[in-house]
Amino acid sequence: MRVGDDRTPALSGVQLWLDQLPRWRMYVVALATGAFSALAYAPFYIAPALAVGLCVLVWLMDGAARHHRPMRAAFGRGWAFAFGHFLAGTYWVGAAFTQVDGAMALMPLGVLSLPAVLALFWGVAMMVAVRLWTADSRRIGAFAGALILAEVARGNAFGGFPWNLAGYTWEAGSPLSQVAAFVGIYGLTAITLLVLATPATLADSHRGWAARATPAMIAALLLGFLWGAGYQRLEAAGPVDARAGGVAVRVVDPGFTQREKWTEGREREVLERYLELTGPATADNAEEVVVWPEGAVPARYPQMPVLMENPDMLDAIGRTLGDRVLIMGATRIEYDNNGSPEHYYNAGVVVDGVSGQAEVRQWHDKFRLTPFGEFIPAFDLISWLDIPTLQQIGTGFTPGDPPSRVVIPGAEDALILICYESIFPGLVPRGAERPGWIANISIDAWYGEGTGPFQNDNQSRYRAIEEGLPMARAASGGVSSITDPYGRKVVEVGREGGAVEAALPVPLPETINARFGFLLTPLLILLIAFLRFAPPGAPARGFRS
């Protein structure tokens, strides 16, 4: 143990109890607490669970700061907590392995390896934080600052996986979620980490009651102020349908599981179900835009041609569309000079119906591919293992260009975000290239019956808040909806499938985040990190100043 000084708090109460546990029990407590804290995310939104988890992690770091190997102790405790946190938040990835023949043997590896890798970011963050640790409340600044920098890295490094950031604790469309319109999801995450970790100072029994309680009271006041500001923003916006006035949009999800959809011989049945839910063309719906999910209709190349090479499929869609426009997910193929397939793209295509004739005129090739779902990172290094499932994925899709707006006849230009892309902030073009709405298409059926579809739905709707744009979301096997620019649902399709339609809400002017977030969010993160370097308060009892 290191001798207590102004950088290492004296341990008592819960801090001392945690530090005196045998190492394996300490790691079990860290893992279990991390898992418990995941209740903060959709569909539960139990924010106190994350507050409890972060406070326990601070207390574990209090003990690590006094350890004879503080950085090693900090990494182990931080990694164990984060492993439990991400395991409880991403366990649903195992459902994807049940949808693919021959993949079940890989399920344990997939379920455990993802949280293990994500936890490395938190482990390193705790190593940094413990080097800056203090005996007073300034350590919360070091803690939150190191964690938000780790979260930014997690969301961008090696392709990025910004899933279940702390800011997503607040349901999209709620008062606190409105903060994202000013500082984005990373700014809201920084504030959430700081505020929910601050009550850890209440356990600092070596300090007076005022010194312990004041930081928690300030954090509560800050949270209350932000809630009030968000509430006023929503009140000024009026009811959820107050901004209706755009083109009518119809969102369709037939409710098929992936295995049902990909059962050989069911392609025509799947298509007919989509056409049934889309409904016939009439004089009243001629200006309507229809949105189908990602990978809507299964197509096995070369056994069954993909959409743009399948006249029969296009004719069937055209007869139902009439003069309407359809946005849907499809596979797009580019060929080499010999006519052989060279690149496969997961595309969002715009099918323009003109008097019953359908034509694909525009598309967006998915830019952010899903690791281990649409491509294998460093596949060249592991292809020699010759695992059939990995071989199939590793030779799969090619990434496209960053999203850009597409022209929608009869409606404002749209931006198509395909599944995984919608969890990444900052993909919407700015200025003159800004679209009028977002079409988010997804296959959430991969996530099974767990919490994954609800998490994806909540995270996707934050893009509407950040950008001030309405969103039409068609998520196969998930939650499909039309959302206003404040993240509130206008209409919704449950996970059992169906179709809904509504007038698309009118977009807001560019939000503060859209215009200045590239500057304000980093400044906010730096401000929180630099709380560690604020002047110390009165010396703690029993400590050297």
CA gyration radius, the chain: 25
Q: How far apart are CA 311 and CA 315, in angstroms?
A: 6
Asked if 342 and 398 touch (Cβ cutoff 8 Å), the reply is: no
CATH 3.60.110.10 residue ranges of the chain are 244-367+402-505
Which is more confident, 29 or 385?
Answer: 29
Where does the pLDDT of residue 433 fall: very low under 50, low under 70, confident under 90, or very high at 90 and above?
A: very high
Give the span between the Cα atoms of 513 and 319, in whole angstroms: 43
- The whole-model pTM stands at 0.93
Is 32 a residue whose pLDDT tops 50?
A: yes
**Position 390 confidence tier, pLDDT thresholds 50, 70, 90:** very low
pLDDT score at 397: 83
Number of other residues whose CB lies within 10 A of the CB of residue 513:
26
SS3 label, residue 329? strand
Backbone angles phi, psi at 493, to 5 degrees: -105, 125
| Model pLDDT, residue 5 | 53
Query: Per-residue pLDDT averaged across 376-390, rounded?
Result: 48
| pLDDT tens-digit readout, 494-516 | 888 999 999 999 999 999 999 99
Q: Is the separation of the CB atoms in 482 and 472 below 8 Å?
A: yes
Rounded mean pLDDT of the chain?
Answer: 89
Residue type, 14: V
- The fold for domain 244-367+402-505 equals Nitrilase/N-carbamoyl-D-aminoacid amidohydrolase (3.60.110)
The model's confidence at residue 544, banded by pLDDT at 50, 70 and 90, is very low
Taking only the tens place, the pLDDT of each residue in 82-126 is 999 999 999 998 887 777 666 677 788 889 999 999 999 999 999
Query: 439-484, pLDDT tens digit by residue?
Result: 999 999 888 889 999 999 999 999 999 999 999 999 999 999 999 9
Query: What are the C-alpha distances in Å from 244 to residues 166, 168, 239?
Result: 31, 26, 10
Q: What is the pLDDT of residue 102?
A: 65
Q: Give the pLDDT confidence score for residue 206 in this predicted structure.
A: 74
Who contacts 171 (Cβ-Cβ below 8 Å, separation ≥6)? 42, 45, 177, 458
pLDDT at 344: 86
pLDDT number for residue 94: 87
Peptide bond into 115 cis (omega under 30): no
- Bigger pLDDT: 543 vs 436: 436
Q: What is the pLDDT of residues 512-533, one digit of tens each?
A: 999 999 999 999 999 999 999 9
Whether 302 shows a pLDDT value over 90: the answer reads no
| 3-class SS letters over 147-206 | HHHHHHHHCCHHHCCCCCCHHHHCCCCCCHHHHHHHHHHHHHHHHHHHHHHHHHHHHCCC
pLDDT at 545: 31
180-194 per-position pLDDT tens digit: 999 999 999 999 999
Distance CA 86, CA 201 (A): 25
SS3 of residue 251 by DSSP? strand
Edge-first strand listing for the sheet containing 357-365: 357-365, 341-354, 325-335, 289-291, 244-253, 498-505
Q: Whose CA is closest to 423, among 144, 186, 83, 104? A: 186
The catalytic residues are 294, 366, 419
**Is-cis flag, bond preceding 403, omega within 30?**
no
What average pLDDT does this structure show over 234-261?
90
Mean pLDDT of 256-285: 88
